Amino acid sequence: MVGKKRKIYDVIICGGGMTGAAMALCLANLKLNVALLETALPQPFSKKQRFDLRVSALSAQTVLLLKTLDVWEDILKTRCHPYRRLRVWENPKLGDVIFNADNIDEPQIGFIAENRIVQLALWKKIKTKEQINTYCSTTWKQLKCFGDKVSVDLQNGDQIVGDLLIGADGAQSGVRKEFQIPSSFYKYGQSCLVASVRAKEAEKDITWQRFSKTGPQAFLPLSKDYASIVWYHRTEQINNLVQLDERDLALKIMESFPNELGAVEVIQKGCFPLHKSHASNYIKPRLALIGDSAHTINPLAGQGANLGFQDVICLNNVINTALINGEDWSSTSVLKRYEIKRKIFNSIMLNAIDIIYHGFSNDVVPIRFIRNKIMSFANVPMINNLIMRYATGLGMELPVNFERQPY
């Protein structure tokens, strides 16, 4: 084709959200040349902007990754909030569990941050990397694997070729579909109301989740007097709630949420249906899926973003080891190491969250008593600390060439 350009890279990443952008930076640090495709860039930040509805609870492990990529200071300076305590309960007299950072000698358990703020910091760093070339004004129209290479034909007529293609393009991944990788999909029959609120009376060093008869209710502190609240309910009920004006919705929230929330003023609101998905494979020849492209999880425990970043860490470390050993780092045998590690772990996490979700959805009295009794064991110091270590990611896999720092 006349005028058609062809460029060659080591890695092509489709999707520049949080996981795709982090993956690009990791691989650039391994001295690999990366093409990053993303057309939906995040809106620039202004302190006058309202808080976004999409927020994540970033674990200690995720924070350490963001530090290695030299973006964490930018996130701190922009907008995020630490929390030192995590509380989970159904019956405050029996199954009331509190996790405290002091018990594991950490300054905090994690941070609540808007997804856009994290993505902006990652993209700011990407612009300083010579090894990363971004494609923001065009998208792909065809993906092909041939021999030991993969090609991406772009809508503008150009073609890019690489040794490895990484799909990081979200739950509706076009890359996954193009390579005909099946993905299981399960609907929970409930939806979530998410709202940014002003909550002057609520404690700000704690995030909590209460299991109510209709579903979980969660509180995530943001900067100053602001917070994000999450309300699970039947889809029909959530659709009715989201239609209310801000004043009436605030009254409904205060009426239904525990007293720990206090008075609230709704700033903005939205909703989404609850579902989970899991790809049957994370890899194919010269292809790897990461983040939501490979798996989505019930937001019950707030682990969606952290699981995606764990994929990034694992794939980065697998490729780094292969490079050091002089292996074909983008071969199926190398990528299989990533798939085995992450698919097993993610399957365990998806199923564990399901057990919790369905276990607390049952209102039969004996079951309710048993689950609250089990929850009470989580206050035993040894068990409490083990859960904390697991939830924060401390002691789990970290990026290569990384020295632990206080976070």
pLDDT at position 303, please? 83
pLDDT at position 3, please? 55
Q: Please state, in angstroms and rounded to a whole number, the distance separating the CA atoms of residues 114 and 53.
A: 8
Encoded tokens for 273: 């249906």
pLDDT at position 362, please? 65
pLDDT at position 365, please? 60
pLDDT at 403 exceeding the cut of 90: no
Q: Any idea which of 129-138, 180-189, 284-293, 375-384 has the lowest mean pLDDT? A: 375-384
pLDDT at 405 exceeding the cut of 90: no
| Parallel, antiparallel or unpaired: strands 85-89 and 96-100 | antiparallel
The full DSSP string for 227-291 is: EEEEEEEEHHHHHHHHHS-HHHHHHHHHHHS-TTS-S-EEEEEEEEEEEEEEES-SEETTEEE-G
Q: What does the pLDDT look like over 168-218, one tens digit per residue?
A: 999 999 999 999 999 999 999 899 999 999 999 999 999 999 998 888 999
Q: Please state, in angstroms and rounded to a whole number, the distance separating the CA atoms of residues 309 and 350.
A: 16
Quick one: which of 25, 8, 13, 30 has its CA closest to 320?
30
What value does the mean pLDDT of the chain take? Answer: 91
Domains by residue range for the chain, with CATH: 6-86+103-185+277-392 (3.50.50.60), 189-275 (3.30.9.10)
pTM above 0.85, yes or no: yes
- Model confidence at 364, pLDDT cuts 50, 70, 90, reads low
pLDDT at 82 exceeding the cut of 80: yes
Q: What does the pLDDT look like over 266-293, one tens digit per residue?
A: 999 999 999 999 999 999 999 999 999 9
pLDDT at position 213, please? 85
Mean pLDDT on 92-121: 90
Which phi and psi angles does 78 have, rounded to 5°?
-85, -75
Tell me which H or E stretch contains 68: helix 60-68
Q: What does the pLDDT look like over 314-350, one tens digit per residue?
A: 999 999 999 999 999 999 999 999 999 999 999 998 9
| Percent of the chain whose pLDDT exceeds 70 | 92
- Beta partners for residue 369, in sequence order: none
pLDDT at position 399, please? 67
Encoded tokens for 345: 């772990």
Q: Any idea which of 34-38, 208-212, 381-385 has the lowest mean pLDDT? A: 381-385
Q: Please state, in angstroms and rounded to a whole number, the distance separating the CA atoms of residues 304 and 167.
A: 16
Contact 311, 296 (CB under 8 A): no
Mean pLDDT on 40-62: 92
Tokens 């609230």 sit on residue: 264
List, in order, residues 6 or more apart from 289 with CB less than 8 Å away: 166, 167, 168, 173, 175, 176, 181, 279, 281, 282, 283
pLDDT at position 402, please? 45
Mean pLDDT on 8-26: 98
pLDDT at 52 exceeding the cut of 80: yes
Encoded tokens for 154: 């772009």
pLDDT at position 357, please? 81
Mean pLDDT on 386-395: 75
